[in-house]
C-alpha cells in the first residue's frame, strides 16, 4: 500500500501498529480514537454496570472476538504521536501511565442527570495534546444498553461513541480538509463525523466485520452544506 493514495477515505483492515509503521512522520493532522482498554468485553459478553434487575448488561448482540483484549501500549502510543501532529484519545483513566498527564482534557457527560438507575460511569474522559482549557460536552447516549430512544438507531458496537460527540470534537479541535486518523475505528463513528464535517479521514480496524459495518455507514453518509450560524447555535463552539 502507498500513502496517501491507498489510505485516505478508506477503512483499512489490519493491525493498526503494522499499518502505522508504513506511514511517514507527521502525516496526519489529528488522531481521534477510542482504543480498547483490555477489559475483555467481547470475551465476557458483559459490559459496565448493572441495571435495575441487578444483572450485567450483555453484549451478545455484538461480534464476539478478541478486539478488546489488548490495551494501548507504549509502542503504540509512540507510533500514534510519531505520525500525527495532535492526538485526542479516550479512556484517559485507563491509560494515564502510558500517555501522561494533560490539562487539556475533554469530558463527555453522557447521563445529564443524577437519578440514573444503573452503575455505569457518568461520563468518559479523553486526553488531548491540544492546549485548551478542559471542556465538557453533554449528550445523552447509552449505546451499550441498546436503548433505541437514546441511541436513535446508532448502536452497532458495545463501546460506540455518538456521532454528535465526535462531530463536536472535530468541529472544535480540527479544521476543514484536515486528515483525521482513527486507528481503532470500530463501527466507524469518527469517520462518519469527519465526512460530515469535510475532513479527510483514514480508519483502521482489526475486526473485518466491523470494517464492513463502517464502510456501509460511510456509504450512507452524505456530507451536509458547510457549517453556518445555525450549526454554531446548536452548541458546536467551545
Residue 97 lies in a domain: yes
Range of the domain at 217: 10-236
Distance CA 89, CA 68 (A): 16
Residues 226, 198: contact at Cβ < 8 Å? yes
pLDDT digits (tens, 9 = 90+) for 123-137: 999 999 999 999 999
Distance CA 180, CA 170 (A): 9
Check which CATH number belongs to the domain holding 179 and give it.
Answer: 3.40.50.150
Residue 5 lies in a domain: no
Task: Please give the tally of structural domains in the chain.
Answer: 1
Distance CA 84, CA 76 (A): 12
Residue 210 lies in a domain: yes
pLDDT digits (tens, 9 = 90+) for 139-185: 987 655 544 434 445 556 567 899 999 999 999 999 999 999 999 99
Residue 216 lies in a domain: yes
Residue 4 lies in a domain: no
How far out from the chain centre does Cα 175 lie? 18
pTM exceeding 0.75: yes
Q: Which residues contact 193 (CB under 8 A, 6 or more apart)?
A: 163, 166, 167, 169, 170
Residue 95 lies in a domain: yes
C-alpha triplet 172, 175, 181: angle, nearest 5°: 95
Residue 3 lies in a domain: no
Amino acid at each position: 500500500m502507498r500513502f496517501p493514495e491507498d489510505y485516505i477515505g478508506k477503512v483499512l483492515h489490519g493491525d493498526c501498529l503494522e499499518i502505522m509503521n508504513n506511514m511517514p512522520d507527521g502525516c496526519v493532522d489529528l488522531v481521534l480514537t477510542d482504543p480498547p482498554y483490555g477489559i475483555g468485553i467481547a470475551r465476557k459478553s458483559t459490559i459496565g454496570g448493572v441495571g435495575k434487575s441487578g444483572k450485567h448488561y450483555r453484549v451478545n448482540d455484538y461480534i464476539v472476538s478478541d478486539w478488546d483484549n489488548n490495551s494501548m501500549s507504549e509502542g503504540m502510543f509512540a507510533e500514534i504521536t510519531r505520525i500525527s501532529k495532535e492526538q485526542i484519545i479516550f479512556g484517559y483513566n485507563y491509560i494515564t501511565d502510558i500517555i501522561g498527564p494533560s490539562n487539556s482534557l475533554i469530558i463527555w457527560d453522557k447521563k445529564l442527570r443524577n437519578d440514573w438507575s444503573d452503575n455505569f460511569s457518568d461520563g468518559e474522559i479523553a486526553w488531548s495534546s491540544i492546549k485548551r482549557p478542559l471542556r465538557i460536552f453533554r449528550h445523552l447516549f447509552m449505546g451499550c444498553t441498546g436503548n433505541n430512544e437514546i441511541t436513535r438507531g446508532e448502536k452497532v458496537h458495545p463501546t460506540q461513541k455518538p456521532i454528535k460527540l465526535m462531530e463536536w470534537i472535530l468541529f472544535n479541535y480540527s479544521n476543514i480538509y484536515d486528515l483525521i486518523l482513527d486507528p481503532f475505528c470500530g463501527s466507524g463513528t469518527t469517520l462518519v463525523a469527519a465526512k460530515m464535517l469535510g475532513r479527510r479521514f483514514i480508519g483502521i480496524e482489526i475486526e473485518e466485520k466491523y470494517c464492513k459495518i463502517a464502510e456501509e455507514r460511510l456509504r450512507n453518509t452524505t456530507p451536509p452544506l458547510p457549517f453556518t450560524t445555525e450549526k454554531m447555535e446548536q452548541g458546536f463552539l467551545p
